[in-house]
Amino acid sequence: MAGIKYFTTPIYYVNSYPHLGHAYTTLVVDSLARYYRLKGYEVFFLTGTDEHGDKIVKAAQKVGKSPQEFVDEIATIFRKTWDSLLVTYDNFIRTTEERHKKVVQYILQKLYEKGEFYLDEYEGNYCFGCERFLTSKELDEEGKCKDHKTPPVYLKEKNYFFNLEKYRPWLKELLEKEDLIYPSFYKEEVLNLLEEPLPPLCISRPKARLSWGIELPFDRDYVTYVWFDALINYLSGIGFPENPSWEKLWTNSYHFIAKDILKPHAIYWPIMLRALGLPPYKKLFVHGYWLMHKMKMSKSLGNIVDPLYLSQKYGRDILRYYLLREMAFGYDAEFSLENFILRYNADLANDYGNLIFRTLNLVEKHFKGVVQPYGELRPEDLELRAVVEGALKKYEKYFEALQFHTALEELFQAIRYANVYIDRTAPWKEIKEGRLERAGTILRNLLSAIKAFAIALSPVLPDSSETLLRNLGLNLKDLSFEDTTNWGLPKEGSIVYKGSPLFPRIEKEEISEMKIQEPIKEESKEEKEVYPIEEFRKWDLRIGKVVFAEKVQGADKLLRLEVLCPEKRQIVSGIAQYYKPEELIGKEVVIVVNLKPAKIRGILSEGMLLAAHDDKGLTLIVPEKEVTAGAKVS
């Protein structure tokens, strides 16, 4: 056994569907997991979903589902997305599972007994979007939450707090002396935060306000804060504390996150572990964002940047390759569909795919697919091997340093060199001139180089590598990274198949179609949001009979109406330019009755008339036949 690697993605919050950012983290981890398995490591790969909190309850309500129904549904979507992207997670943990809740409660109880928590009354501005109290600095000029643009609610309540400040000196020292966080500029960011005292972390929420969470074992009136719950998945997912194997995994733990959740992972989590008496994780790897300048994320474009859409349209490996090749781990990167296609065509279709196809084609056509024996090896043959082996060394070095884009580039240099080799040795020419042994040697050498590429790239291109190796008469399952440099494979006398092109080119017409689509869609960026019918049902619309109407003094647009629906209401409406008061009396109109009453020109308006307007003017919406005043409109 070469060693143990325990890799985690964050558990994804199920208030939204999987997007490119989720896919990137997950695919990076999957590629690493596959890579280390190939190298003979014992790998444990954990992913999952974070399912508690107020936002989930709200999102579920919005679509008229119970929280449990809702989270079941989205968790399934996440799992299916990863399955279809060939993600080889070893365990999928959900925070609503019993096995997770038990561990959270165990940890809460333990920390409580150690006296880490204290009860305190707190009052302040609570933002439901953030699910926490905000400081005055976190509010904008209008007193709204800067993130959510909504006014906070003033709350006063008792809660349990965790004194983080106590651990600040320890954490600072730890981060300074150990390279826990990579890339290091994120470490600097955290150290910067640790210059200031840490406010206590509120770890509870009163059930009276929020019940969708894990109950505190020492106080049944509370549930725990989602972050406190969520971070623990990294332990509950490996069977802590009951399954003894948790410890060997934990001491080899590598967390992967996007930069937005740096703080909980770099501050709360190590402190929680310390308080528990556990060592910190081994490393925290932080990556940047995928930006979409040319196509902002919008619902209409959602399908294009939807990881599933991309993989289904172009192949399961393509997205993996693109994401790893294009982003320098740690930094932000630009995603564009055009670039995606260019990258695919240049690297996978033209260089790699074509190399494979032209080689296999020659073997199939002239040697009936039979792998030939090596004849005498010439300097150029050995040169190819040297180039491939050199590239593999660099590939390993960069891959293990998470520099995937450089690693892939290094390997592709060897792939390009193989194209140079086939051109220079021109096996088709040797065949024509009857030197079959020489041609056989060249092709065998090439087949072996291709096998090396297929194995080395299998963590990134699992699907096509498997197919390719099968066509070479091999099986990925029986191979390890060391076989990349076994020039005896594929074996003499075995049969290879060219099959159909592994990476068919995406034609130019298709690319220009996309280019046309992008700007058009961009212009319609004011995408109308869609809502479920429950949202509409919130509005109480009624038929109202106008019994009185008069102009509002001093306002040339306003009329004051009295309407029966069936009780009498006063409504101020801006329709004076289109209707005379006397025209309106006796008319039946549509009224929104549960609108918050407002004073207009000092007159109370208890509702609103519905009207249609275009550039010609305005017309009231009226029932086609006479109906009872107060009849519901739906």
At a CB cut-off of 8 Å and minimum separation 6, what does 198 contact? 164, 165, 167, 168, 267
* Distance in Å, CB of 510 to RNA, minimum: 12
CA gap 316, 329 in Å, rounded:
21
**From the list 88, 91, 298, 413, which residue makes contact with RNA (rule: CB under 7 A)?**
413
Question: Is position 326 an interface residue for RNA (rule: CB under 7 A)?
Answer: yes
Kindly list the distances between the CA atom of residue 541 and the CA atoms of 481, 532, 622, in Å, as whole numbers in the listed order.
68, 17, 12
Query: What residues between 505 and 524 interact with RNA by CB under 7 A?
Result: 505
Q: Is 299 among the catalytic positions?
A: yes
Q: Which of 80, 114, 146, 148 is catalytic?
A: 148
Pairing of strands 559-564, 568-573: antiparallel
DSSP assigned state of 477? G
**From the list 118, 170, 309, 331, which residue makes contact with RNA (rule: CB under 7 A)?**
331
CA gap 100, 194 in Å, rounded:
30
**From the list 419, 486, 517, 570, which residue makes contact with RNA (rule: CB under 7 A)?**
419
Q: Is 148 among the catalytic positions?
A: yes
Q: Which is nearer to RNA, 125 or 605 (CB)?
A: 125
Candidate ranges 4-12, 57-65, 421-429, 600-608; the one touching RNA (CB under 7 A) = 421-429
Q: Is 202 among the catalytic positions?
A: no
For 5, phi then psi, to 5°, come to -135, 125
Is the separation of the CB atoms in 608 and 574 below 8 Å? no
Question: Is position 328 an interface residue for RNA (rule: CB under 7 A)?
Answer: yes
Q: Which of 58, 65, 110, 130 is catalytic?
A: 130
Contacts of 236-244 with CB under 8 Å at 24 or more apart are: 236/93, 236/99, 236/100, 236/102, 236/103, 236/104, 237/8, 237/46, 237/48, 237/91, 237/93, 237/100, 238/6, 238/44, 238/46, 238/91, 240/103, 241/103, 241/106
Question: Is position 497 an interface residue for RNA (rule: CB under 7 A)?
Answer: no
Query: What residues between 134 and 163 interact with RNA by CB under 7 A?
Result: 137
Count of CB atoms within 10 A of residue 413's CB? 17
For 573, phi then psi, to 5°, come to -135, 145
Question: Is position 539 an interface residue for RNA (rule: CB under 7 A)?
Answer: no
Question: Is position 201 an interface residue for RNA (rule: CB under 7 A)?
Answer: no
Question: Is position 351 an interface residue for RNA (rule: CB under 7 A)?
Answer: yes
Q: Is 287 among the catalytic positions?
A: no
Q: Which is nearer to RNA, 188 or 535 (CB)?
A: 188
Secondary structure of residue 576 in the 3-state scheme: coil
Question: Is position 178 an interface residue for RNA (rule: CB under 7 A)?
Answer: no
**Residues near RNA (CB under 7 A), total:** 51
Q: Is 146 among the catalytic positions?
A: no
**From the list 56, 349, 489, 496, which residue makes contact with RNA (rule: CB under 7 A)?**
349
Question: Is position 188 an interface residue for RNA (rule: CB under 7 A)?
Answer: yes
Binding residues (CB under 7 A) for RNA: these are 137, 185, 188-189, 192-193, 196, 259-260, 263, 326, 328, 331-334, 339, 342, 345-347, 349-354, 356-358, 361-362, 365, 405-406, 409, 413, 416, 419-420, 422-423, 426, 428-429, 432, 501-505
Catalytic residue annotation: 19, 22, 127, 130, 145, 148, 296, 299
